Amino acid sequence: MKLIILGGGFGGLRLARQLSNKPGFDIILIDKHNYHQFQPLFYQVATAGLDASNISFPLRKVFHKSKNVKIRLAEVQLVQPEAKKVITDTGTFDYDVLVIATGAGTNFFGNANLTEHAFPMKTTVEALQIRNRLLNNFEDALVAKDPEELQGLLNIVVVGGGPTGVELSGAIADMKKYQLPKDYPEIDFNQMKIYLLEGSAKTLGTMDEKSSADSRKYLEKLGVTVMTNTLLKDYDGEKITLQDGNSIATKIVIWAAGIKGNVPEGISKDLVARGNRIKINRQCKIIGHENMYAIGDVAYMEEPAWPNGHPQVAPVAMQQADLIAANLRRVEMKSGDKKLQEFVYNDKGSMATVGRNLAVVDVPKPKLHFRGFVAWMIWMGLHLMLILGVKNRFFVFCNWLYNYFTYDQNLRLIFKQFYREGKIQVKKSSINNIQSP
């Protein structure tokens, strides 16, 4: 069976690993990056807590001992379901079975100014760009003469009160408290304002009411200005305009307010649901296609417990990958007497960290709620286990230990890279530079 997997995220990588060295499968894993990115810790890269290499793992290294998995570095240009072909910028690939696991990107909801000026955080490089802009803003603040310009450089706006926005706001607040006053003693960081904007009535809206209340309390304790029921209307690179007409001067807006599925060209628009997600049945097959599957953030499935689709989180993608792996093995072994399984999401809970010794954890069965230091330890332990590679786990753990006992981070670096053609200007950066993991 010629199996092509598009995407080396949590779902795609899990599926390839499940079928690695299984007889009867010839697998090609296609991704535009040659590494797997551990997205839950992007915010720590953005706030100089971790190095990008700590949360990025080479895909080829994962399959050193695999005889049936090939990696291809390419960008998908077109899927041709009738011809059973995938066209990329490096060539065309034939398949018997196709699994789309391309994940999701940032959704700016059609706002051109936000697309141009706001910073998303869906890749390692984008996290590095945020770190670069944050540090450059503080450098610029040292020489700013105008009080309004200085305030704009010190104001930081995070849009979106989900786990990403909450964790990022808390991490920046910890920087403000512990590291920045030592790095920049000339700056009065009492003037620095961190704003978290959320369009609904609470932060962590998908979690338990207790977690939502606790997260807001923790953020406000850290000095973050939490603005719920607040919608951002526009941003011109200098100030944000809110729906109610008020404005806030800021040189950086970090967008964590929406995502949309990365649907490849060639997928019928009739198969795309809200959030730009591909409609699939309970076996993860794309509706109307027997040999095409979609999993993870790009997939939309309705089941009785989740009538509006599953949350776009890693456990969903990995559990769907497990289901497809089991079903494809039945198909390959021609186990006609065994009915193919249907997907049922096993929600093991959700969690978010807010800052040093502060986190919230919800467990649905049995229904439990943890907060504070205990929840923070649970959060760290689970994320440490999920990171690929012993070396990566070791360095992440060492960084966390160093930061915890010294109240410091040693990764507040601004890189500039040059090519033969000259300086390469990175979008949304005030200086000519480029970041690479």
Same domain, 147 and 265: no
Output the pLDDT for position 335.
Answer: 59
Please give the chain's pLDDT, 437 residues, in tens: 999 999 999 999 999 999 999 999 999 999 999 999 999 999 999 999 999 999 999 999 999 999 999 999 999 999 999 999 999 999 999 999 999 999 999 999 989 999 999 999 999 999 999 999 999 999 999 999 999 999 999 999 999 999 999 999 999 999 999 999 999 999 999 999 999 999 999 999 989 999 999 999 999 999 999 999 999 999 999 999 999 999 999 999 999 998 999 999 999 999 999 999 999 999 999 999 999 999 999 999 999 999 999 999 999 999 999 999 999 999 888 755 568 899 999 999 999 999 999 999 999 988 999 999 999 999 999 999 989 888 889 999 999 999 899 988 878 888 765 333 333 444 444 433 434 43
Same domain, 120 and 243: yes
pTM comes to: 0.89
Angle at 146 between CA 236 and CA 184, to 5 degrees: 95
Q: Give the C-alpha distances (Å, rounded to integers) separating 108 from 119, 120, 202, 240.
A: 10, 9, 21, 14
> In this structure, are 140 and 174 located in the same domain?
yes
By residue range, what is the domain housing residue 248? Answer: 112-258
212 and 197 co-located in one domain:
yes
**Does a structural domain hold residue 398?**
no
What is the CATH number for 186? 3.50.50.100
Q: Decide if 289 is inside a domain.
A: yes
Give, to the nearest 10 degrees, the angle between helix 390-406 and helix 372-386.
150
* Per-residue confidence (pLDDT) for residue 340, from 0 to 100: 87
The answer as to whether 409 is a domain residue is no
Residue 149 sits at φ, ψ, to 5 deg, of -65, -40
Assess whether 156 and 166 both reside in one domain.
Answer: yes
| Closest C-alpha to 380, from 27, 41, 6 | 41
254, 326: one domain: no
Distance CA 15, CA 325 (A): 6
The helix (H) or strand (E) run that includes residue 429 is none
